[in-house]
Structure 1
Amino acid sequence: MSGKVYVIHENSQWIPPFAAAFEAEGVPFEEWLLTDGSIDLAVEPPEGVFWSRLSASAHTRDHAHSKEFGRAVLRWLASWGRTVINGADVLELEVSKVAQHAALRHAGIDVPRTVAVFGTDDLVAKAREFGAPFISKHNQGGKGLGVRRWDSLAEFAAWVDGPDFEPSPDGITLLQELLVAQTPFITRAEFVAGDFVYAVRVDTSAGSFELCPAEACAIPGADGVEPEPLFRRRDDVDPALIDRYLAFLAAEGVGIAGIEFIETRDGRTVTYDVNTNTNYNPDVEATAPRSGPREIARWLGSLLPKEAVGLRG
C-alpha cells in the first residue's frame, strides 16, 4: 500500500465518527496524536494525505502545546511537498479569532464590531469606550469557552481585577458587540472540499455560548436524561451567503470547516466564527441527506493513489 490518510489531532474523543467513516469508505487512515513525540526534520514524511484537526480548545484538555507541535509538523510536511488539508496557514486561522475576523471582513462578509485588547492594563478602559452591553471572549478559544455577556461595566471591571478572571491562552481578550438574534438560534454551515454539505440550526434559547456539536460534548439534563436536541438541520439558508462562504474558504485555502452566523433583530446576517476542525452532531447526521464525516473520508480517499484505496460501491 503506497499511502494512507494521516489524521493529525490531540483529542481522541472526537475521532470515532471519522474512524467509522474511513472504514465505511474503505480508506486507510492512521492517527497522529500530537500530545508528545518528535520529528526528524531531515527525514522524509510517509506518503499519504495529511489532515489537520488541531483545535483552538486544546489547552482545555491539558494539550496547550499541541498547537505549537502542530505548527512544527505542518511546516515540516509542507516542506516535503506533502498534501496537507487545513495546513499551517489554516491552523493560524483556527487559533486566532482576530485572524478570522480580519479574513472575513476582507472578504466582504459582515462581522461583529470587535476590539482586541492585549493584556489587561487597558481592558477596562477599552470596555468603557466600547460601551455596555457587550461580550468578552478569548482570542484563542473554542467550544464557546471564555465567552461572557456583560450588561454592567462595573461588574466587568470587578471581574477583570478579581480572582475569577480567566485570560485567553495568548493574552488577547476580545470585546465584541452583543448580537441579538431575531429568533433564538444561530446557524452553522458545514463545508467539505469546496462544497456545501448542510446547515445546522442551533437553539440558543438557554443563553449558553458553549455550542459544541459533537456527541462527546453532550451535557445530560438535570435529571440525568438527555435533553431535547439543540441541533437540527436547516434547509433555508440564503444560497448567496453560501456562495460567499465558498469563495472565502477557497481564498483562505480551507478544505474543511464549519462557519457560524447569526441573523439579528436589526436585519443583519453576521458571521462570527470559522471552525476548521469541525465536528458533526449525531442527531443531524441521522437525518441529513449527506454525512459530513463520510464526505470527508470520500474526499481524502480520492486524493490518495488509487492502489491505496478500496472504495466501496
Structure 2
Amino acid sequence: MPSIYIIHENQEWTRHLTNRLEELKLPYEEWHLHEGLIDLTAEPPVGVFYNRMSASSHTRGHRYAPEMAGGVLDWLEQHNRTIVNGSKALSFEISKIRQYTALTKAGIKTPATVAATGRENIIEAAKRLGKTPFITKHNRAGKGLGVQLFQSIEALESYLNSPAFMEPIDGITLIQEYIQSPESTITRAEFIGGQFFYAVNVDTSTGFELCPADACQINDLYCPTSEEAVEKPQFDMIEDFHHPIISQYEAFLKEAQIDVAGIEFIRDASGTIYTYDINTNTNYHSEAESRAGKYGMLELAKYLGKQLG
C-alpha cells in the first residue's frame, strides 16, 4: 500500500505533522536518518516522500543526517518517485550562499554579504563589506545559529579570539549588512505546494533566534515559546497579507523546485524589502495559528494526501 514517507532527523519537529496525518487517516512512515543505509540495488517503496531534513541537525548530534538525506533523495529521484522538497530543495536548506545567489539571480534583493573561511578572512570579509553595524551568521545554520550583531571590526576581532566564537559546521561564516527594521520585526511567509498560505510578523527585539517550532528549548535565550522572553506575542499572523513580493517568491520556488518553505524578509526605514532566509524545513507557531484559525501542518497533511492520491 502506498504511504507518505517523512524524511527527517528530529521527532519533536515532526510529531505535529504525524498527528495531522493520523487525524486525516493517511498512511505514513517516518525515516529518521541519524543512522541508516541505502541499498542502491533495491527499488524504493511506492508512495510520496517528504523531505524535512534540517540544516541544524548537528546541534542535536545528527551531524551527517543531511548528507544521508541527500543520498536517499538521489536514490528516490533515480527511481522517479514523487518527492516533496527533493535534492535541490535540500541544497538550499544547507547553504545560505546558494540561497542568496539564486535569489539575486531571480531579481530578489538580499542584504550585502561576504563569505569567508578562517578567522583572518572573516575579518577581511568585514572590511570588504565596508558597512557598520553588521552581523555574522553561519552558511549552514538553522535556528539563527551564529547570528551576532557587531558595531565595529574591533568588536568582531575580540569575538573571534574569544571562547564565545562558534565555528560553523561547514567552516563558512557570512558577514552581512545589518538591516534595521523601524518596528524591530521581520516577516515570514509560508508556502505549501509552492503556493502562499499565510504570513506572520515576528518580533526581533529580543534577538535573532527565530525558530517557530513549539519544540524549541525553553533555555534558548530567544526562544519564541518562552513566556518570559517578551510581553507581546513574538509571532503574530498577518490578516489578508498582500504584496507583490509573494508572486516573486512563488515564481522563485517553482524554479528552485521547492514545494514547502518559509521565506523570511525584513523592511528597512524606507520600506525596501530584503530577503535573507529560505527555510525548507519549515515549522509553524501553534499559538499564532490558534489565534488566526489557520494551521500549517493540517494544510501540509492535506497537500501530502493529495500527492498520495
Contact 1:187 1:261 in 2 (8 A): yes
Distance 2:219 2:100 in 1: 33
Structure 1 length normalisation: TM-score?
Answer: 0.92
Q: Is the CA contact 2:187–2:266 (under 8 Å) kept in the aligned structure 1?
A: yes
CA contact (8 A) 1:263 1:270 kept: yes
2:252 aligned residue: 248
Change (3 A) 1:100 1:221: closer
Q: CA deviation at 1:160?
A: 1.6
Query: Structure 1 pair 220/55, CA: closer, same or farther in 2 (3 Å)?
Result: closer
The 3 A distance-change label for structure 1 pair 211 and 129 is same
CA drift of 1:129 comes to 2.8
1:81 alignment counterpart: 80
Match of 1:233 in 2: 237
How many angstroms does 1:230 deviate by? 0.9
Give the alignment of 1:270-309 within 5 angstroms.
270-305=274-309
TM-score of the superposed pair, with normalisation by structure 2: 0.93
The answer on whether the counterparts of 1:220 and 1:226 sit within 8 Å (CA) in structure 2 is no
Q: Report the Cα distance in structure 1 between the residues aligned to 2:123 and 2:54, rounded to whole angstroms.
A: 29
In structure 2, the partner of 1:259 is 263
State the Cα RMSD in Å: 1.8
- Residue number in structure 2 paired with 1:158: 158
Larger RCO (alpha carbons 8 Å, 6+ apart): 1
Post-superposition CA distance 1:114-142 (Å, at most 9, x none) = 00113333221221232321001100000
Q: Which secondary structure does the structure 1 equivalent of 2:300 belong to?
A: helix
Q: Structure 1 81/114 Cα, relative in aligned 2: closer, same or farther at 3 Å?
A: same
Matches of 1:298 and 1:37, distance apart in 2: 28
Residue type of the alignment partner of 2:305? G
Residue 266 of structure 1 deviates from its aligned partner by 2.9
1:220: Cα distance to partner? 7.1
CA gap 1:225/1:51 in 2 versus in 1, 3 angstroms: closer
Equivalent residue letter for 2:298: R
Provide the C-alpha distance between the structure 2 equivalents of 1:230 and 1:154, rounded to a whole number of angstroms. Answer: 32
| Ranges in structure 1 where 5+ consecutive residues have no aligned partner | 306-313
> Which segment drifts farther, 113-122 or 94-103?
113-122
Give the CA deviation at 1:289: 4.2
CA apart distance, 1:304:
1.4
In structure 1, what is the equivalent of residue 125 of structure 2?
Answer: 126
Q: What number of residue pairs does the alignment pair up?
A: 302
What per-residue deviation string (whole Å, max 9, x for no partner) do you get for residues 143-165 of structure 1? 11210000121121122233332
Describe the superposition over 1:257-278 as per-residue Cα deviations: whole angstroms up to 9, x where unpaired: 0000111113211110000010
Counterpart in 2 of 1:308?
Answer: none
In structure 2, how many angstroms separate the alpha carbons of the residues matched to 1:113 and 1:237?
A: 27
**Does structure 1 conserve the Cα–Cα contact (< 8 Å) formed by 2:187 and 2:202?**
yes
Q: 1:64 to 1:12 in 2, by over 3 A?
A: same
Q: Secondary structure at the match of 2:210?
A: coil
Structure 2 residue runs of 5 or longer lacking an equivalent are none
- Return the alpha-carbon distance in structure 1 between the equivalents of residues 208 and 250 of structure 2: 25
Task: Please tell me whether the aligned partners of residues 198 and 288 of structure 1 are also in contact (alpha carbons under 8 angstroms).
Answer: no
Structure 2 counterparts to residues 103-182 of structure 1, below 5 A = 103-131=102-130, 132-182=132-182
**Residue deviations 1:182-216, cap 9 Å, x none?**
2111110000012211111111122x110111111
Which segment is superposed worse, 229-238 or 296-305? 229-238
SS at match of 1:183: coil
Contact 1:3 / 1:304 at 8 angstroms: preserved in 2?
yes
Per-residue CA distance 1:94-130 (angstroms, 9 max, x = gap): 0000000011111111110000113333221221232
When residues 304 and 129 of structure 1 are mapped into structure 2, their CA distance, relative to the original with a 3 A threshold, is closer
Distance apart, 1:225 and its partner CA: 7.5
